[in-house]
């Protein structure tokens, strides 16, 4: 079973069960953003977590085996420029603010990058009378470029 087939089975089981990412994350014992990224095939899931997820969603050992396998990153969307409006907005944010973020980060930290490996992300809902707000917090270790 490849990652795309795995993801399709997991998402179908999630839909059938009515479980939220938060509920699945609680069952697995991990963060909802990380669990979802594993289910979309963008991260691998260690066996104990994969077993808990498959038990919670009544999935086969083939799905568990695919969850545990190391992924090829960036394959879940299938195209360079995303067409889903919500995902596209993140792409658009980076198009508009990417160089700004790079400049501000490097001004504060020096020449380097923010890790997407030593990384966490959280999504919260902030109620607002003018319309609820989406709060996305990303935290990545700063990795300075090596000088030699």
Is 17 tagged catalytic?
Answer: no
Give strand pairing partners of 140.
Answer: 119
In the numeric block, the tokens 């691998």 are attached to 44
- The secondary structure element, H or E, covering residue 63 is helix 61-68
Is 44 tagged catalytic?
Answer: no
Q: For the chain, how many residues are written?
A: 148
Please tell me which residue in 47, 89, 133, 139 is annotated as part of the active site: 89
Please tell me which residue in 20, 92, 133, 139 is annotated as part of the active site: 92
Tell me the C-alpha to C-alpha distance, in Å, between residue 60 and each of 26, 50, 79: 20, 11, 29
- Give the 3-state secondary structure of residue 2: coil
Q: Which of 103, 94, 88, 107 is nearest to 138 (CA)?
A: 94
Q: Supply the residues annotated as catalytic.
A: 89, 92, 115
């Amino acid at each position: 079973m490849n990652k795309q087939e795995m993801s399709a089975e997991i998402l179908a089981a999630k839909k059938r069960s009515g479980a939220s990412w938060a509920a699945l994350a609680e069952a697995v014992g991990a963060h909802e953003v990380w669990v979802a990224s594993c289910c979309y095939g963008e991260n691998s899931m260690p066996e104990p977590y994969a077993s808990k997820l498959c038990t919670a969603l009544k999935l086969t050992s083939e799905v568990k085996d695919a969850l545990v396998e190391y992924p090829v990153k960036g394959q879940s969307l299938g195209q360079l420029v995303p067409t889903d409006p919500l995902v596209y907005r993140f792409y658009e944010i980076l198009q508009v603010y990417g160089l700004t973020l790079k400049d501000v980060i490097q001004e504060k930290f020096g020449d380097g990058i923010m890790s997407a490996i030593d990384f966490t992300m959280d999504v919260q809902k902030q109620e607002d009378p003018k319309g609820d707000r989406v709060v996305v917090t990303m935290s990545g270790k700063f990795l300075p470029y090596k000088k030699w």
